[in-house]
Amino acid sequence: MGVVVNLEDGKKPEASIAALVELTAGDMKAVNELILSKAGSDVTMIPEVANHLISSGGKRLRPMLTLAAAKLFGYEGDGHVKLAMSVEFMHTATLLHDDVVDESGMRRGKKTARMIWGNQASVLVGDFLLGQAFRTMVDVGSLEALDILANAAAVIAEGEVLQLSVAKNLETTEDEYLEVIKAKTAALFSAAAEVGPVIAKASRNDRTALRSYGTNLGYAFQLVDDALDYGGSTKDLGKNVGDDFREGKVTLPVILSYRRGTEDERAFWRQAIEGGNADDAGLEKALGLMKKHNAIADTIGRARHFGGIARDALAPMPNSRHKTALLDVIDFCISRVV
């Protein structure tokens, strides 16, 4: 059932992110220790719920970005570790709340926290992690970094609300959809990357460059994620192919197929997405229509476009191992669709 998309460069995902993992390994050990410590509480349900998600094998891409972005500008100190942890907690809090809002059953191949501990615990532990994220950021003492991350938190929540209104609306334009993922995904990638040069007291241009890198990497990442939901396999994804379809989510592959479709095809999409008739037979048909209209390949094409902007954002930086590692992440994000 998967749609196989061959990429020109054919890079292996493992290869691509390896440099970043290696460069940040020492700091990530400290981040992971801080995560475990800050997810701790005498209220035993909190570490249980938090660790369920934290230990579920996410790549921790966002905190690695913060670490590498700080080191790219020669940062010495431990503020980058604290900010990286805060970024990961903000991400985890968002996932906990998202699963409640989307009524999701599975994430990364495991039952979601809400299926085990309920919606109540997921909402509140999310709030707790967000609170811990802010405490830890404050501890770093950089008002500029705080401003960036607090801003991201508000934008992310705003984006999630925006997504509610977009969710079942097939008339959503590509522009409107890009606004959603700008807030939902790109804002945190952007903040994660920008706080690096900020605490390293790098120049205004360097800050702007890293912010642009993060934003566009975030766009690329989310668009590929949307494509993966209609390709890949359950094993690779940790979620089932067609989850977005079954939940009636309007993502770019759907938007493109709908806009390029015939009247009959549009009626099918309306019945499936807006009418809630998104079963397995519907998924087969949806995949066929996406293929017919080149919707998956073009979604990946858009991702590649944003990846290019991210690449150019870093172009003025002198060559370094950290720069190379950050550039590799762009390829990694896009080459996940194999």
160 vs 236, beta carbon nearer a copy of itself: 160
99 vs 298, beta carbon nearer a copy of itself: 99
Which residues pair with residue 110 across a beta bridge? Answer: 107
191 vs 290, beta carbon nearer a copy of itself: 191
Q: How many C-alpha atoms does 192 have within 13 Å on its Cβ side?
A: 29
**Helical packing angle, 25-38 and 45-54, nearest 10°:** 150
| DSSP states along 190-233 | HHHHHHHHHHTT--HHHHHHHHHHHHHHHHHHHHHHHHHTTSS-
Which phi-psi region, left, alpha or beta, contains residue 4 (left: φ > 0; alpha: ψ -120 to 50)? beta
Smallest distance from a copy of itself to CB 299, Å:
24
Across 318-327, b (16+ Cβ under 10 Å) vs e yields: eeeebeebbb
List residues near a copy of itself by CB under 8 A: 41, 43, 45-46, 97, 100-101, 119-121, 123-125, 127-128, 130-132, 134-135, 137-139, 141, 143, 146-147, 150-151, 153-158, 160-162, 164-165
Smallest distance from a copy of itself to CB 109, Å:
24
Q: Burial of 112 by CB count in 10 Å (0-12 exposed, 13-18 middle, 19+ buried)?
A: buried
90 vs 327, beta carbon nearer a copy of itself: 90
Task: Kindly state the tokens that stand for 180.
Answer: 């959603």
Smallest distance from a copy of itself to CB 78, Å:
17
161 vs 281, beta carbon nearer a copy of itself: 161
Smallest distance from a copy of itself to CB 331, Å:
32
In the chain, the N- to C-terminal Cα span, in Å, equals 14
Smallest distance from a copy of itself to CB 240, Å:
22
128 vs 213, beta carbon nearer a copy of itself: 128
Smallest distance from a copy of itself to CB 129, Å:
8
